[in-house]
């Protein structure tokens, strides 16, 4: 599902974010990306959905060669990838249902299909009864559930999550984790960058540890492995 081959990323200010990163993630895997602040986790995540481009090396996600994509092809690629952010990135003037539907409206999906898919994903994330509420009326955990629903509505083959529980209390963090696990059980690949030690240690999933821009640890049923 995801393949990185000798990937390097250097920013214009001279900062080297990633060095010689090679990794393969299979369809249906659930992978945690951990490491100290500034280690390169966010760059690693952003490269997967072409928010950033590698300085050199190759990246394949769901059959797309990320480095060789033309600008007009990027939206097509992103229809196959769901992205969940730490700060939700919801449209404040749209309702819950409208936020989720927007991802389909921009690619001109029929109204009937939009209604069907939005209804399905809101039921999955437990927000059916709040479809007509606005983000400001929701708790942080509920807003993140909207973010997950929006990422799922296109039926992506992979979900990429960048610190999705970073702004949540422990109870809501566990709730979001359980939601991701249900999605993963359906066959969707999940790659999640996180600082949440408790979740990683309890989950016993594959762990990629990034330090100083390099993958220093790749463990099946791994643990977080860092002190606070």
Cα angle at 92 between 160 and 71, to 5 degrees?
45
Burial class (CB in 10 A: 0-12, 13-18, 19+), 44: buried
Q: Indicate the residue among 124, 155, 186 that finishes a domain.
A: 155
As for how many domains the chain has, the answer is: 2
Closest among 206, 152, 158, 147 to 49, alpha carbons compared: 158
pLDDT in tens, 107-120: 888 999 999 999 99
- Residue 119: inside a domain, yes or no? yes
Residues 76 and 160 in one domain: yes
- Residue 129: inside a domain, yes or no? yes
Residues 103 and 151 in one domain: yes
Cβ atoms 66, 77 nearer than 8 A:
yes
Mean pLDDT in residue range 124-152: 95
Q: Quote the pLDDT of residue 228.
A: 54
If one counts every other C-beta atom within 10 angstroms of the C-beta of residue 182, the result is: 12
Q: Indicate the residue among 105, 121, 155 that finishes a domain.
A: 155
- Residue 227: inside a domain, yes or no? no
- Residue 85: inside a domain, yes or no? no
Q: Quote the pLDDT of residue 151.
A: 92
Closest among 143, 163, 156, 202 to 183, alpha carbons compared: 156
pTM of the model: 0.91
Cβ atoms 35, 211 nearer than 8 A:
yes
Q: What is the CATH number of the domain that holds 48?
A: 3.40.50.300
Q: Quote the pLDDT of residue 108.
A: 82
In which domain, by residue range, is 1 found? 1-80+156-222
Residues 41 and 64 in one domain: yes
- Residue 73: inside a domain, yes or no? yes
Burial class (CB in 10 A: 0-12, 13-18, 19+), 107: exposed
What is the percent of the chain with per-residue pLDDT over 70, rounded to a whole number?
A: 99
Mean pLDDT in residue range 140-156: 93
Which residue carries 């993630």 as its tokens? Answer: 25
Residues 56 and 168 in one domain: yes
pLDDT band at residue 7 under the 50/70/90 scheme:
very high
- Give the Cα separation of 15 and 49 in Å (integer): 21
Residues 178 and 70 in one domain: yes
Residues 71 and 172 in one domain: yes
- What SS3 class is residue 188? coil
């Amino acid at each position: 599902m995801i393949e990185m081959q000798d990937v390097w990323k250097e920013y214009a200010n001279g900062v080297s974010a990633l060095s010689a990163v090679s990794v393969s993630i299979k369809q249906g895997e659930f992978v945690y990306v951990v490491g100290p602040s500034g280690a390169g986790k966010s760059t690693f995540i952003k490269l997967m959905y072409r928010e950033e481009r590698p300085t050199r090396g190759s990246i394949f996600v769901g059959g797309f060669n990320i480095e060789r994509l033309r600008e007009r092809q990027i939206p097509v690629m992103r229809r196959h990838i769901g992205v969940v952010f730490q700060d939700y990135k919801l449209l404040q003037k749209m309702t819950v249902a409208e936020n989720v539907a927007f991802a389909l409206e921009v690619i001109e999906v029929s109204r009937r299909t939009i209604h069907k898919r939005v209804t399905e994903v809101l039921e999955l994330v437990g927000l059916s009864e709040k479809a007509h509420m606005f983000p400001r009326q929701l708790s942080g955990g509920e807003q993140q559930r909207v973010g997950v629903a929006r990422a799922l509505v296109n039926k992506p083959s992979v979900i990429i999550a960048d610190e999705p529980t970073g702004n949540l209390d422990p109870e809501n963090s566990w709730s979001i984790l359980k939601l991701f696990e249900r999605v993963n059980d359906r066959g969707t690949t999940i790659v999640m960058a996180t600082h949440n030690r408790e979740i990683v240690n309890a989950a016993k999933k594959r762990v990629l540890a990034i330090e100083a821009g390099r993958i220093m640890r790749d463990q099946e049923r791994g643990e977080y492995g860092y002190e606070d």
